[in-house]
Chains A and B, each alone.
Chain A
Amino acid sequence: MTTTAPAEAAVYKSPSGAAKRTPRHPGRIRRIGLPYLLLLPALLLELLVHLVPMVIGIVMSFKELTQFYIRDWGTAPWAGISNYKVSVDFDAPVGEALLHSFLVTVAFTLVSVGLCWLIGTAAAIFMQGTFRGRGLLRALFLVPYALPVYAAVITWVFMFQHDNGLVNHVLHDQLHLTDKPSFWLIGDNSFVALLTVSVWKGWPFAFLIVMAGLQNIPGELYEAAALDGAGMWQQLRRITLPSLRPVNQVLVLVLFLWTFNDFNTPYVLFGKSAPEAADLISVHIYQASFVTWNFGTGSAMSVLLLLFLLVVTGVYLLLTSRGRKTADV
């Protein structure tokens, strides 16, 4: 096991002589241990806050864990795979509700990530070059992202009120688009409400990343394309979008994971139990665990969710890395 740093340092140092390094034997031993020492705090914290709880969570999912055992959860009786059976029995109420919530979450995530990506990319491309007010506009666009979730979502709750909200005032009183004021935070419209808030809050992140990615595209590419007679739209399709591909792969994955696991937005928007049409899986599991006090089933659902995310992420990484390879050839 050698460290590359000393080796390369020696190459770098060669003109003035590498003799200085050889006697420092104790230093080298320390240096081999050093990376581990530097990683130790991060490792310990990840263990304490993520990995050990995950293992406990998995163990809990095999136990019959109700509020009676919560003080001393180790003594809870084993349940085998019954928690999982209940969760995936789609003909029974618990499983049916979980499946519904899962499908709602998938639909919500796909549409939300798609819109965030589309709006963010379009905004970043249109904001290229210089024009009056560009700096101000850019700062303004980042405001939704910078706002704390609860402050932003509370404002939307205010706007979505049935009787006195801004949304109904505009749609019904001012534009006369609806026959009567709609309910936004209950019933089917709640999906639209959730989506609106999620996109409003999320697109600036895509904007930020794509903006950063655009800065890495060399200007000569555009100059060469322009000389060859490629118009603005063609340059966009042939240069900008393909060059953004590696950026987009990371961006879409991060957006997907954040949106899929989002708890804060639906929780602040709807409270502890979301309307059926907007029953995202994280809130659903929270409710299964903390409201109906069935921690075993809640844990089993969480593990299933994690497995799903692992598979999706794995497949995604596999597909995109293969895509990158073929693009390079």
Chain B
Amino acid sequence: MAPPRSFLWSKRIFLTLLTAFVLVPVYAMVSSSLKPLGDVSGKFRWLPSHLTIRPYIDIWSTIPLARYFVNSLTVAGAATVCSVVIAVFAAYAVSRYDFRGKRVFTVTVLSTQMFPGILFLLPLFLIYVNIGNATGIALFGSRGGLILTYLTFSLPFSIWMLIGYFDSVPRELDEAALVDGCGPLGALFRVVVPAAIPGIVAVAVYAFMTAWGEVLFASVMTNDNTRTLAVGLQGYSTLYNVYWNQIMAASLVVSLPVVAGFLLLQRYLVAGLTAGAVK
């Protein structure tokens, strides 16, 4: 049955307006990153006076962008890997076993999701400094401290989503593996994990994006050497000049890995959300 005209027209108008809303900032970012400094310091213009890739060359020398990039990559990458592994174990336990304290665990972990970050910023800072003083392990100002912090940010949501996902993998499958002589971990890694790959990819994407985009803890807990992109990009505005074309170029370069990865894997994310969060 064909939809009525009213529906078709609402759809066209709505989707067109929405596309414009989404695209204008993306266009501003891309076009400004290809403009000479004169163009971005003056009145906004839709088209560059002439195209230049100069900003893309200059961004690397105005600030140590490469170092920030590597820092962000290390921190977000490590946080993602750890967070996914830990979430897989926890979700498997909750999904497959009955044990005392199960409800308490899930409720506690989930409720940490609602903590305002500001509540534990200072205490965490103090804990890290104290651990550093007591054991010599430098957590404050180091990539390690940031990794530790970030991996817990995505943990509650990841565990929650994976529980749903693991629940949708038929129990008979891993029970058969148990019967065939696999240990519980064997059953997890040979049967449940492969069957739940879309959910795990979804969780990994989410964890990486969370770590890559975090600003508050990055600005308090890093120093010159460990600064991530979230804080580093502020370096393009100096007292005398704001290099908007370079800021836009750098923003684009910094966004590309996450946006490309996200768009490539978004099918998994939708599949993961269908089985996990949405039930």
Binding site for B on A (CB under 8 A): 1-5, 8-9, 12-13, 20, 31-32, 34-36, 38-39, 41-43, 45-46, 48-54, 56-57, 60, 70, 73, 119, 122-123, 126-127, 137-152, 154-156, 158-159, 163-166, 168-169, 173, 200, 208-209, 211-213, 215-216, 226, 231-233, 246-247, 250, 257, 260-261, 263-264, 267-268, 281-282, 285-286, 289-290, 295, 298-299, 302-303, 305-306, 309-310, 313
Contact = CB atoms under 8 A, between A and B. Distances in A.
Given A149-B213, A226-B1, A267-B215, A257 B23 contact: no
Residue picked from B148, B229, B244, most chain A C-beta under 10 Å: B244
Contact of A139 (B21, B263, B274): B263
A145 B4 CA distance: 32
A54 B120 contact: yes
A299 B118 CA distance: 9
B127 A200 contact: no
A84 to B, nearest CB: 15
A39 to B, nearest CB: 5
Interface in B44-69: 44
A129 to B, nearest CB: 8
A277 to B, nearest CB: 20
Contact of B43 (A150, A158, A164, A200): A164
27 contacts: A9-B179, A35-B93, A42-B89, A43-B105, A45-B151, A46-B152, A48-B148, A49-B124, A54-B120, A60-B123, A123-B15, A126-B15, A141-B18, A142-B266, A148-B209, A151-B252, A151-B254, A154-B251, A155-B251, A158-B28, A159-B28, A164-B41, A168-B44, A209-B273, A212-B278, A226-B1, A302-B116
Contact of A212 (B1, B179, B274): B274
Interface centre among B41, B87, B93, B148 (most CB of A within 10 A): B93
Given A140-B19, A148-B213, A164 B42 contact: yes
A150 B227 CA distance: 14
Contact of A119 (B18, B44, B184, B248): B18
A137 B18 CA distance: 10
A21 B255 CA distance: 53
Contact of B99 (A36, A57, A141): A36
Contacts of A73: 126
Contact of B22 (A159, A200, A215, A299): A200
B200 to A, nearest CB: 15
Given A51-B112, A212-B273, A38 B89 contact: yes
Nearest to A49: B152
Contacts of A212: 270-271, 273-274, 277-278
Contacts of B278: 209, 212-213, 216, 246-247, 250
Contacts of A159: 24-25, 28, 44
By DSSP majority rule, is chain A's interface helix, strand, loop, or mixed? Answer: helix
B159 A42 contact: yes
A302 B118 contact: yes
Is chain B's interface secondary structure helix, strand, loop, or mixed overall?
helix
A238 to B, nearest CB: 15
B197 interface: no
Contacts of B121: 286, 289
Interface string B241-279: 000100110011011001100110010011101100111
B43 A144 contact: no
B44 A150 contact: no
B230 interface: yes
B216 A303 contact: no
Contacts of A169: 43-44
Interface centre among B4, B21, B92, B119 (most CB of A within 10 A): B119
B178 to A, nearest CB: 6
Interface in B208-258: 209, 212-216, 220, 229-230, 233, 244, 247-248, 251-252, 254-255, 258
Nearest to A122: B14
A146 B259 contact: yes
B273 A155 contact: no
Nearest to A129: B3
Contact of A137 (B15, B98, B112, B271): B15
A247 B254 CA distance: 33
B105 A158 contact: no
